Structure 1
């Protein structure tokens, strides 16, 4: 079979067949009287082997060594190709992600592109100081996409860098809260904690709604963090969790402050919170719990807290009675009208 016919049947150009011949990859077995290349069925079969291996990503040199190696084992070769392809795809995915990040920033010029690329490199640094420096760099260039900051904050373990990222995310605006939604649903509690920490520093109804949902998280630390953030926003859905924090800790002082602020601003909820605190005091005999509850009464409106504190000043537990008595003195000194 002459080269033209081989080219038609195999789909390999005559030029490429000559190249294979020059490399010694597929040499025609014979020549015609006129000197034309003449291929046997075995030669054509080898051409198909070459094309098949090329489709798997092997170079011509690799193909030559493979076909001429009597100890060649396809399994080893395919395994190597799989690993190489996975590495290549990983690099391509990273490149695609970087390109999408730059595109999302809508850069106005190359300085903006350079700023985003510099930030990406900085955030990938193993040095916490370098990551923090990258986040805190002047932001006169293109706006940093919220998605980039969210990805970084959800994976950041250094508290200083995480704080810088939350600060940058709060300044970035955009869809920061929406971008945190997958983190809030992550199976890893550490990731969910970082998501709640970031949401706590974001303003807006969406962030508030997501924090409210986090009150039902199975992780106690997440529930506490969400409750403190919501309490600062005056969201009364956080009251039960805050009451539990006052009674059992940790963060009992912060929780009491949040409850006090809500009580000062909402008379209806002031009554409910006072009733809940009084109920907890009546239901427990744990001295440490009772002391925390009494201390929380200092944050309540004086007119509501003083009657209960005066009763507690006569409590049979001396530490409770002493603390309540001291708080009565403080509150009456600061609010004379409350004593009338």
Structure 2
């Protein structure tokens, strides 16, 4: 069979067949009287063997060794090919993910694409300063690769970079909340903590709903961040969690301040005082009773005032002195307001 017919039947170009010949990989065993290459059935069979090996990723040199060397062991070579292929697939998947992130940002011009790519590359930097600078310096008019920012926010350990990422996601006006919500479902507590921290920076109805759901999280830090954010937004749903924070001593000062804010705008001020009083009566350790006493100072209204007056006669001298100091400060404040009104 002449080279042209071999090419047509095998799909291998005549140029490549000549290259195989020059390498000694597939050499026609005969020549016509006119000097043209003539391939035998064995030559064609060898050609198909070469093409089969090439589909596995073997180089031409390795294919020749596999066919010509009797002691050639394929195990090591196939193992190398497997590792090489996995690296190539991983690289291709990484490229695909990057392209999808660029596409999701909906760039309008090539300048937008370049800015997004530059930000994505900077997020992969080992330098925290570079990652932070890239996020903070991203042009506000340029599209944001929100999915990439969320992924970075859920894995970022550097507090400065994490803060920059939360700021950037807050600018996205709610985009990315679905991915952050998925972060709240993670089995890793650190991921959930990062997710709730990012969600608290977003002021939308959807974000508020996610905060309410996080009040049931098994981690106290996640619950606490959700409660503080909800309470600051005027949601009474956070009151039970805030009360628990005061009793447990988990960000109790901030929790008491938010409880005071809620008591001013919610008809549940007396309920808050009642729960605090109940915990105070049942607590048998001084630090917890002191925290509750100090929290009462943040609650407006006569119920909190009466509770503090009663505590001025508490059997624990520290509690009594603290309550007396709070009542005295409140009295001075009332006196100053009366003078200013006059």
Corresponding residue number in structure 2 for 1:251: 251
Corresponding residue number in structure 2 for 1:98: 98
Asked whether the equivalents of residues 106 and 142 of structure 1 are also in contact (C-alpha less than 8 Å), the reply is no
CA-CA distance at 1:206 after TM superposition: 0.7
| Unmatched runs of 5 consecutive residues or more in structure 1 | none
Q: What is the alpha-carbon distance in structure 2 between the residues aligned to residue 149 and residue 12 of structure 1?
A: 47
Q: What is the alpha-carbon distance in structure 1 between the residues aligned to residue 39 and residue 331 of structure 2?
A: 110
CA-CA distance at 1:150 after TM superposition: 0.9
Corresponding residue number in structure 1 for 2:164: 164
Q: Higher mean Cα deviation, 110-119 or 200-209?
A: 110-119
Corresponding residue number in structure 2 for 1:315: 314
Quick one: structure 1 residues 192 and 213, their matched pair in 2 at CA, closer, same or farther if it must change by over 3 Å? Answer: same
CA-CA distance at 1:84 after TM superposition: 1.3
Asked whether the equivalents of residues 4 and 14 of structure 1 are also in contact (C-alpha less than 8 Å), the reply is yes
Asked whether the equivalents of residues 224 and 245 of structure 1 are also in contact (C-alpha less than 8 Å), the reply is yes
Asked whether the equivalents of residues 236 and 266 of structure 2 are also in contact (C-alpha less than 8 Å), the reply is no
Q: Higher mean Cα deviation, 8-17 or 121-130?
A: 8-17
Q: Deviations over 1:108-147 (max 9, x none)?
A: 3232222112211211110011111111115244121322
CA-CA distance at 1:2 after TM superposition: 5.0
Matched position secondary structure for 2:299: coil
Q: What is the alpha-carbon distance in structure 2 between the residues aligned to residue 336 and residue 304 of structure 1?
A: 20
CA-CA distance at 1:6 after TM superposition: 4.7
Asked whether the equivalents of residues 21 and 28 of structure 1 are also in contact (C-alpha less than 8 Å), the reply is yes
* TM-score with structure 1 setting the length: 0.91
| Unmatched runs of 5 consecutive residues or more in structure 2 | 338-342
Alignment of 1:296-307 (within 5 A): 296-307=295-306
Alignment of 1:82-97 (within 5 A): 82-97=82-97
Corresponding residue number in structure 1 for 2:340: none
2:16 maps to 1:20? no
Matched position secondary structure for 1:299: coil
Asked whether the equivalents of residues 257 and 299 of structure 1 are also in contact (C-alpha less than 8 Å), the reply is yes
* TM-score with structure 2 setting the length: 0.91
Q: What is the CA RMSD across the aligned residues, in angstroms?
A: 2.2
- Residue-pair matches, total: 337
Q: What is the alpha-carbon distance in structure 2 between the residues aligned to residue 273 and residue 108 of structure 1?
A: 53
CA-CA distance at 1:71 after TM superposition: 3.5
Alignment of 1:1-340 (within 5 A): 3=3, 6-7=6-7, 10-33=10-33, 35-267=35-267, 269-335=268-334
Matched position secondary structure for 2:94: helix
Q: Deviations over 1:312-337 (max 9, x none)?
A: 11111111111111111112222359
Q: Higher mean Cα deviation, 167-176 or 199-208?
A: 167-176
Q: Deviations over 1:40-99 (max 9, x none)?
A: 443333222211111122332332244334442222222211211121122222222222
